[in-house]
Each structure stands twice: as C-alpha cells, then as structure tokens.
Structure 1
Amino acid sequence: MQYVWFIWSLIILALWGVVYLLKKDSRREMLKMSWITMPFGLTEPLFVPEYWHPPSLFDLAIKTGFDIESIIFSFAIGGIGTVLYNLLFKRRYVEMPHTERKHARHGLHIYILFVPVLVFLGLSLFTPLNHIYCGIVAMFLGGMATLYCRPDLKTKIWIGGFLFTALYFVYFGSILPFYPNYVELFWNLENLSDVLVAGVPIEELLFAFTFGMYWSGLYEHLYWRKLMKPIPIN
C-alpha cells in the first residue's frame, strides 16, 4: 500500500488534465486557482497523525508530516473545484461592472475573503476540535460569507458543493475495491465520528462538500467575475 496515496493523487491530477483540455476557455482560471490551492498541501502536518497517517513517498508523512502527494492533490482539486460547475452547466466568465462593485455589500469584500482563515485559526487555537472539523466549519462559513457578498453565485456555490462531493465520493470510493482496509489502517477513526458512508469517512465527504461550496465561488469573488451563459452562434 506504500504507493496508493501517490497513485490516487496522480489520478486526480490526470482528471484535472482532462478538464483542462475540455474547458479551453477556463484554462487560465484553472491554473490560477490550482496555484493558489497548491500551498495548502503544506498544511498536512496539522492532520498527520491527528486525522490520518497515510503511507507516502519516502515515508515523508510519517517522518515529517509533509508529503508530496498532498501538494499534487491540492493543486488538482483547486482547479477542478473552480470550474466543475461551469463545465457541466456551460457557463463563462465575464468581468463584473464597476457600478456593481460599488454595492454596499462589497465594502466587506477583503474581510470576507479572510473568513475561513480566521475561523480555522480560532477553532484550532481555542477548541479541542480535530483540525479536519476546524477546516470543514471554516470552509462552510467561508461559503456563507461569499453568499452574503455575492448572492449572484448562490446556485453555483450550493450545486458546486454537491457536485464536488459526488465526484469526490466516486474518487475516494474507487480506492476501496482494491484496498478495502485502507480507511481502517490509515484514518484515526477513534478520534473521529467513526461514521462511514459506503466505506468513506463522513469527514471526507463533509470536507468535499464544504470545499466544493467555497472553492466553486472563490475565483469570481477574488477577481470580480460573473457567470453568464455562452452566446449561441447562429
């Protein structure tokens, strides 16, 4: 099982490559958000071994808390989570007019972007919660804060959460037929809810849903973009 995490991180990266090829008009956005998301892979010491202790290349996770796989994984899901909704519902980005940017709710734009970070730090420092729960709550509240600032993204944020959860469920579940004991061996279930959905820890699915919520609207929020249907060509 030494290379399972590495192989499956390459699988999600390959899926990123497929989406990148299919969604030609969103390649720049995918790359931007993937590069932004990739450094979050360096937060792995917060989760190892408290949340899980995966086998990794050169045993880096066990020896240092860091691993190469998490960086690959974070890069891939950043781009996929950003454009998955657009790919399925055929939406394109347009720049938000400056007149709309002056709306009162956008006065908190900068502060709202930092909501997940502040919530995560607060929960991590002042509660005994496992860091995975801190991350789930932080991303959920980040999604809610984005909804306040950008109500035009309501549909994308909610559907984006469900879409990414469905994708992640299939992705994670694809490991289990080959390695049915993978979760039991490498997740610290005694520190968690010990609730499994078809063998997948509920925490993984909650992570997927809140990540999909928050990341699906983050590009538009960061770069003042709106979603539009493509103009049909007669």
Structure 2
Amino acid sequence: MTHDYLVLALLFLVPGALIWFLRPDLRGLMRGAALMALPFATTEWLFYPEYWAPKFLFDLADRIGFGIEDVLLVVGLAAFASTAHAVAFRRTVVSLGPSSRPWRRVVGAFVAVLAVAVLLLGVGVPILYASVVAMVSLTGAVLVVRQDLVVPSLLGSGVTVVIYFGLCLGFEALMPGEAVERIWKPSLFLEGRLLGVPLDELLYGLGAGFASTAFPAWAFGLRFVPLPPRSAE
C-alpha cells in the first residue's frame, strides 16, 4: 500500500474514538490534550527522514516539513494517552478551580519540550531519544509542583505503551512483511524488536504516556479522582 503512514495514523484514532464514545466525562480532557498536542505535528521535520521515512499524502513532509498524517497521529495519541490511566483505573477528572492562564502553560510546555529536544539534538543525541528525554524531564518538573499526578503519570505511561504496542501490531498485520522494515531506520541504541515492533517506538510510547497524563491535567488545572459508582453518576 502506498500511503502506509495514513493507515498507521488512522489506527491511532481508534482508541480515542472509543474512549470519547464510552466516557463522556473525559471528553473535555481529551479536547484539551489534543489541542495541546497539535503543535507537535509540525515537528515531523526533526524525525523525517533520519528516524523513519514513511510515505506522506501529497509528499507534504518534503514540501512543508510535516503531513496530514502527523496531525491525525498526534491527536489520536494525545486523546488516548491522556485518558488511558483514567479508563484503566476507573478515574475521572475534576477541576482544581480556575486555572491561571492555561493556554500560556500550553505554549510554554511546547516551547520548552521543543527547546530541550533541539538542544540535545544539537549535541548529537538522536532525535527519538532527545524527544523522550525532553518529555520525561519536563514532565518531572511539572510533577514537582503537582505530586498528585506522579502515580497517574506512571500508570498512564504503562497503559499507553500497551495500547501503543497493540496499534503497532495491528499496523504490522495490515501491512505484512513490508511497511515496518521499509519505514523505520535501524536503531542506534535500542536494537531489536518485540514481535516486530521497534523498541524505539515502545520507548516513545512510554514517554508520550508519561507526559500526556501529566501535562494536560497540569495546564488545565485538573486532578484525577475515583469514578463515582454507577448508581451515583
């Protein structure tokens, strides 16, 4: 199939769509997380073609540095990664009160993560590892002031990587024997694959789950609480 990345991006929309349908209480968090993640779609030029080289619709990555698929994938990833912990452990979100300039926090988070990643890239750290270090380190800074998010972020990271792994396996099943080998470049550090899925991708899934659980909750002034019993909802 020519547009293999489009297949992968559409797969990443599925978990979030299911959560949106089944958990209306999490829709506000999902919207905020997706909007917060959108600017990261424009960073594809940092990954392509050094880390991977999928085929883009209209060759947009070669023309403008990112593609439609990047938008779909970051929205899908943010939607399920921000809510994976809540779904798996029956949690919902409540407001801590009026948040102080949440969109300034969103912009600040994007600039800070991008700056750290580019700095690491500039000193020779490959972009995949630079992006994971940037996400994890800056999430750690957030957790210093929001210690209530430590456990949710750790659990969210684990649940997210399981979903991420399942989606990659689904992609392999739909694109047998060609797409994964063609798209992903050989790893520089984490050599090897788990059932065909590059270990680098799973590392990225862990980092994305960790950051996506903490950052939207911090930015929009939310905390995770137990989901009320069904009879009390």
Counterpart amino acid of 1:224?
A: G
Counterpart amino acid of 1:174?
A: G
Kindly state the Cα deviation for residue 62 of structure 1 after the two structures are TM-superposed: 4.4
Pick aligned residue for 1:150 from 146, 149, 166: 146
Query: 1:155-210 CA deviation, whole Å, 9 max, x = no partner?
Result: 11111111110000010111223322322212221655432222111110110001
Partner of 1:221: 218
Partner of 1:211: 208
**Deviates most, 52-61 or 112-121:** 112-121
Partner of 2:184: 187
Pick aligned residue for 2:155 from 128, 153, 159: 159
Partner of 1:201: 198
Q: The residue matched to 1:61 in structure 2 has which SS?
A: helix
Higher relative contact order (CA 8 A, sep 6+): 2
Distance 2:84 2:141 in 1: 21
Distance 1:84 1:131 in 2: 25
Matched, 1:135 2:131: yes
Q: 1:14/1:230 Cα in 2 relative to 1: closer, same or farther (>3 Å)?
A: closer
Distance 2:207 2:165 in 1: 14
Q: The residue matched to 1:51 in structure 2 has which SS?
A: coil
Q: 1:222/1:64 Cα in 2 relative to 1: closer, same or farther (>3 Å)?
A: closer
Distance 1:208 1:120 in 2: 16
Query: 1:26-54 CA deviation, whole Å, 9 max, x = no partner?
Result: 11221121122122111111111111110
Q: The residue matched to 2:149 in structure 1 has which SS?
A: helix
Contact persistence 1:51–1:132 (CA under 8 A):
yes
Q: The residue matched to 2:223 in structure 1 has which SS?
A: strand
Q: 1:192/1:58 Cα in 2 relative to 1: closer, same or farther (>3 Å)?
A: farther
Paired residues, what number?
Answer: 224
Q: The residue matched to 2:133 in structure 1 has which SS?
A: helix
Distance 2:55 2:216 in 1: 33
Distance 2:28 2:182 in 1: 39
* Aligned-residue RMSD, C-alpha: 2.4
Kindly state the Cα deviation for residue 3 of structure 1 after the two structures are TM-superposed: 2.1
Kindly state the Cα deviation for residue 92 of structure 1 after the two structures are TM-superposed: 1.8
Unaligned regions of 5+ residues in structure 1, if any? 102-108
Distance 2:114 2:57 in 1: 29
Kindly state the Cα deviation for residue 118 of structure 1 after the two structures are TM-superposed: 3.7
Counterpart amino acid of 1:181?
A: E
Counterpart amino acid of 1:52?
A: W
Distance 2:187 2:77 in 1: 27
Query: 1:117-139 CA deviation, whole Å, 9 max, x = no partner?
Result: 442132123x1121111101111
Q: The residue matched to 2:207 in structure 1 has which SS?
A: helix
Partner of 1:50: 50
Kindly state the Cα deviation for residue 152 of structure 1 after the two structures are TM-superposed: 1.1
TM-score scaled by structure 1? Answer: 0.86
